[in-house]
Chains A and B, each alone.
Chain A
Amino acid sequence: MSLLEVNNLKITYQTAEEDVHAVNDVSFSIGEQDNYGLVGESGCGKSTIAKTILGLLDDNGEVEAGSVRFKDRDLVDLSEKEWQDVRWEEIAYIPQSAMDSLDPVMTVGSQIRQAIRKHRDDSKSKADERVAEVFEIVGLDPARTSDYPHEFSGGMRQRVTIAMALALDPDLIIADEPTTGLDVIVQDKIINKLLEIQDEVDSSMLLITHDVGVVAETCDEVSVLYGGKVMEQGATYDVFKHPTNPYTMGLQNSFPEVDEFDKQAISIPGSLPELTEEPTGCVFRNRCPFSTEECADGHPPLIANGGQMSACYHHDEAEDMREAATDAETWGIDVAEDRETSGDTGDVILETTDLEKWFKQTQSIMDSFRGAEPDYVKAVNGVDLTVREGEILGVAGESGCGKSTLGEVIAALQPRTGGDIQIDGTSVDDLLAESTKKFRSQVQFIFQDPFDSLNPRQRVKDAVAEPLKIQGHDKETIDRRVRETISDVGLNPPEKYLDRRPAQLSGGERQRVAIAQALVLEPKLLICDEPASMLDVSLKANILNILREMADKRDIGIVYISHDLASLTQIANRLAVMYLGEVIEIGKTREVVRNSKHPYAASLLAASPKTDPSIDRQRVLLPGEPPNPVNLPEGCNFAPRCPKASEECRKADPDRSAFKDGNHEAACYLPVEDVEDELLSSYARQERPEIQSGEEETIEQLGEEA
């Protein structure tokens, strides 16, 4: 008996210019106590479906056809009044961004209490009891129910929304990207909590996400959506172990495992379909390497294939396609020569020694009168790095570890407070003193947010030409180099793009323009701060490949900063892991990943979800959160959370060379030998409610400069 049945659902949004067919003929059903996953990229219609099940569709959205049957009643035609009874009582919701989803001027406790008392005639104190109860279930300190949302960290806020969803024991919980935007370790803990709770209460869950790994590890059944259509549907194990639809294969390619070093990053060419008309052929055919003429004859029906159903005319060739899909050339990507052999020994282009960026905290007036030493947030604290020509150095770490600050300090976008930076053997100070222009022509930066990295008023050609104009090149040179560079970043033919404005470009194209802006000056060093993290997964690999190519062909040294470990291992020759402003482990990517020595680095690398459903992974339940960066513990920063920490670790901060094996260094007295035994299983044993100060202060947000 299924709890929720979605049948032939069709949803259209009306916009001023045209209609958008967001969901086309989608059907699926969720059984009692089932975990069901809807997976797909942005614009595939997954959130629209979730909103429809909650009756929260935007005013311009309309259910054109189909039904949503929940416990044998159709939800589509409910009045707003009837909806108010269904919501939360029967279907609860865990929103996408817990950051913005809690009412900022209401304590978290009263927000949950409000949900309870809206539906039950409970007294205030009875409701409060329940609030305390659900707080404990999700691992939050019940004493904190009277705190405001901003007093919680991101991960804890997500726990609050989960607690809220549990308050009334609903039959169905819809979780819309519940872990997107969280760091991997926090994500792992949240997912663990969700699954644990589900074992105890008997609700079903509809999980909506773009992350194949998260679905593969949590859901029994799954629908893969693309362009408002179900592409593949069935048991999660079958769908991801033996995908039969080319889109599923492409999507899976976009989520490489952390330890897949040799694979070229593979993206799906082209961009997402515009859904302004009902699809006349297979929605994926323009990007599909296996498409034939047949594929234009209407979207293929879902046909059973083994354990699952697939919407593909070529479902009978699934096995061949599967094999071909792992080859980058199938997807139209030129395979670069093996990078391990492509020589990593150019000249040193960047060298930092003991680099520091401390932010001064404001102190009380009395203290500053007394001349007391102010507190500092040590965003970057004693970092030594080298980057050679043609080398990509990956910098990994969770949000707030100081990696972005490090990048901006190296690029002189923020002044440093200590240590030295040498570019090509010359100190940055000398370079800047000589000429800012000259420095900028050697060191360039690529920012995270492609949607905001271009001036909306500037055409592509002006945007790319601007750095050259600043350098004072003549018009001909500018024209030539702009064209060359735009073509180099894969925007071909350049003429097509020169006169466009940012609003006329997709996210992937915008980020390429931003890269062109940086490359047009032919810099020696390029610093990339999460350049692909806001792009759809299927487009991410494009950016990685361009950067890799530039490093190889132009001999640029690249510092690639990211929280996404899989893309780091795909692109970086060497990898540095940061924790609280320090590089705690560094070495060849392969060695750092396969043979992590620092307990934190090892935990971080073990926390990524696996897309292969047959792997049973031990979750990383690392207790606590990074401590307040103002009052760092004495000794090793990680000691308070480390199961291996000894007296020595708590007293003296280990040097980075505490462990040394060739170029592989780790700041740890007791290097890890076996991740599972030494760390993961002991985390699991000591898991307890998070009862420490909720002050979350990411380093980037803090204070005045020292």
Chain B
Amino acid sequence: MSFRRFLIKRTAIAALLTLIAVSIIFATLRMLPADPFSGLVASGALTPEQVAEVRAMYGLDEPIYVQYVKYIQNLFTFNFGVSLTQQRPVSEIITPALLNTLVLLLPALVVTAIISSLAGMYAGWNRGSWFEQSSIVATTVFRSVPNFVTGIFLLIIFSYGLGWLPAFGMRSPLANPSGYLDTYLSWNFLKHYTLPFTVTVLYYSGDFLMLARNSVVERMGSEFLMLHRAKGLSEMEQLGRAGRNSLLPLVTYFALRTGMLFQGVVTLEVVFAWPGIGRALVQAILNQDYPTVQAAVFIMAVAVIVMNLVADVAYAKLDPTVDAGDV
């Protein structure tokens, strides 16, 4: 199969998956027994007539298939509508939250991918060593404990116990930064950043370490490393080759992990009151603010699907021995 054909096929599948995913999201939300306005009627805040008016405003009185078509159209033009509870466009709520999440997670993921992979390669090369055993046990602990529990431990120790670092939010309540530079490059921000960043780095370290370690172990008995050794390469040069040969699964995994990022941070953001997309989502669910929920879930789903595609393509492109069709 040619690479182009492969790419076309994969993209088509990704598009189809996205469509199905958003349809499921739509269906799930429409299955809800009530919308927030019915609640308002019950509490007597609005008359049924007023509710009907509001419903018409949000297009909720139209037949379900019309709503569906409009919903799909809007999603693919990134028009997420207006929040039911905050009276402003959903995009105004989502965009800064998304940015905050990315600022927290991407650097953390990159850092942990690099450090943990290198450590994992070293551990695999020295199979059975003290370093291997302890690094595996340590990272296994970090990846198995839920990140909000790790977060709580760190909070108790460093915020409430020692009082070194702030516990909540992205900046002090009084700080009122202007512009991105001021927002993300201040001492105040850094202090708030440290704990959630650390938790993320620790949490994802285990997967990369084990993956790198296993790939290197897998290659250790291989004939080609034997030939490298017979050529007179030093230990570190051999490890370099083993590492280079293990790179592919790591890159693929990094792409997949990036796609899953938004999903994994809901609890973490809640613990640290980080104003990211996960926290926005939880609040929207609690407030039954469905346009916002739809938008946030849509972004999460698209991230996974797109990064899946990227991983597949990276795999086909990076491995000289893989014919694109085999993927």
- Residues of A near any B CB (own CB < 8 A): 54, 56, 80, 83-89, 92-93, 95-97, 100-106, 114-115, 118-119, 148-150, 161, 164, 362, 364-365
Bound: A111/B317 CA distance, A: 21
Query: From residue A153, how far is it (CB to closest CB) to chain B in Å?
Result: 14
Are the C-beta atoms of A101 and B227 separated by less than 8 Å? yes
Are the C-beta atoms of A88 and B245 separated by less than 8 Å? no
Are the C-beta atoms of A105 and B8 separated by less than 8 Å? no
Are the C-beta atoms of B224 and A87 separated by less than 8 Å? no
> Is B70 engaged at the interface, CB distance under 8 Å to the other chain?
no
Q: Top 4 A-B pairs ranked by shortest CB distance?
A: A87-B232, A100-B223, A101-B223, A148-B320
Bound: A119/B230 CA distance, A: 12
Residue of B whose beta carbon sits closest to that of A58: B221
Query: From residue B226, how far is it (CB to closest CB) to chain A in Å?
Result: 6
Contact partner of B223 among A83, A95, A364, CB < 8 A? A95
A148-B321, A362-B5, A365-B5 known; A103 vs B224 contact (CB < 8 Å): yes
Are the C-beta atoms of A105 and B319 separated by less than 8 Å? yes
The DSSP consensus for interface residues of chain B is: helix
A102-B224, A103-B245, A362-B325 known; A88 vs B231 contact (CB < 8 Å): yes
Bound: A119/B228 CA distance, A: 13
Are the C-beta atoms of A85 and B232 separated by less than 8 Å? yes
0/1 interface trace, chain B 217-257, chain A, CB 8 Å (1 if under): 00000111011111111110100010011001000000000
Bound: A148/B319 CA distance, A: 10
A selection of 26 A-B contacts at a CB cut-off of 8 Å is: A56-B226, A56-B230, A80-B235, A87-B229, A87-B231, A88-B232, A95-B226, A95-B227, A100-B223, A100-B224, A101-B226, A101-B227, A103-B227, A104-B320, A105-B245, A105-B319, A105-B320, A115-B231, A115-B232, A118-B231, A118-B237, A148-B321, A149-B321, A161-B227, A362-B5, A364-B2
0/1 interface trace, chain B 1-40, chain A, CB 8 Å (1 if under): 1101100100000000000000000000000000000000
Bound: A558/B155 CA distance, A: 76
Query: From residue B1, how far is it (CB to closest CB) to chain A in Å?
Result: 5
Bound: A150/B322 CA distance, A: 9
Query: From residue B192, how far is it (CB to closest CB) to chain A in Å?
Result: 42
0/1 interface trace, chain B 41-69, chain A, CB 8 Å (1 if under): 00000000000000000000000000000
Contact partner of A84 among B234, B244, B248, CB < 8 A? B234
Are the C-beta atoms of B232 and A102 separated by less than 8 Å? no
Are the C-beta atoms of A101 and B234 separated by less than 8 Å? no
B1 partner residues in chain A, CB cutoff 8 A: 362
Bound: A161/B227 CA distance, A: 9
B319 partner residues in chain A, CB cutoff 8 A: 105
Residue of A whose beta carbon sits closest to that of B245: A105
A103-B245, A105-B244, A364-B2 known; A93 vs B232 contact (CB < 8 Å): no
Query: From residue B315, how far is it (CB to closest CB) to chain A in Å?
Result: 13
Are the C-beta atoms of A119 and B232 separated by less than 8 Å? yes
A89 partner residues in chain B, CB cutoff 8 A: 232
Query: From residue A160, how far is it (CB to closest CB) to chain B in Å?
Result: 11
B227 partner residues in chain A, CB cutoff 8 A: 93, 95, 101-103, 161, 164
A362-B1, A364-B5 known; A104 vs B230 contact (CB < 8 Å): no
Are the C-beta atoms of B233 and A84 separated by less than 8 Å? yes
Contact partner of A96 among B4, B223, B232, B248, CB < 8 A? B223
Besides the contacts A54-B230, A114-B231, A365-B8, what 17 more A-B pairs have beta carbons closer than 8 Å? Answer: A56-B226, A56-B230, A84-B232, A88-B231, A100-B223, A101-B223, A102-B224, A103-B224, A103-B227, A105-B245, A105-B319, A105-B320, A115-B231, A118-B233, A150-B321, A164-B231, A364-B5
B321 partner residues in chain A, CB cutoff 8 A: 104-105, 148-150
Query: From residue A85, how far is it (CB to closest CB) to chain B in Å?
Result: 7
Bound: A103/B319 CA distance, A: 12
Query: From residue B38, how far is it (CB to closest CB) to chain A in Å?
Result: 50
B235 partner residues in chain A, CB cutoff 8 A: 80
Contact partner of A104 among B224, B232, B237, CB < 8 A? B224
Contact partner of B241 among A80, A103, A150, A161, CB < 8 A? A103
0/1 interface trace, chain B 189-230, chain A, CB 8 Å (1 if under): 000000000000000000000000000000000111011111
Bound: A83/B321 CA distance, A: 32
B228 partner residues in chain A, CB cutoff 8 A: 103
Query: From residue B132, how far is it (CB to closest CB) to chain A in Å?
Result: 15
A364 partner residues in chain B, CB cutoff 8 A: 2, 4-5
Bound: A54/B241 CA distance, A: 20
Query: From residue A176, how far is it (CB to closest CB) to chain B in Å?
Result: 10
Are the C-beta atoms of A88 and B230 separated by less than 8 Å? yes
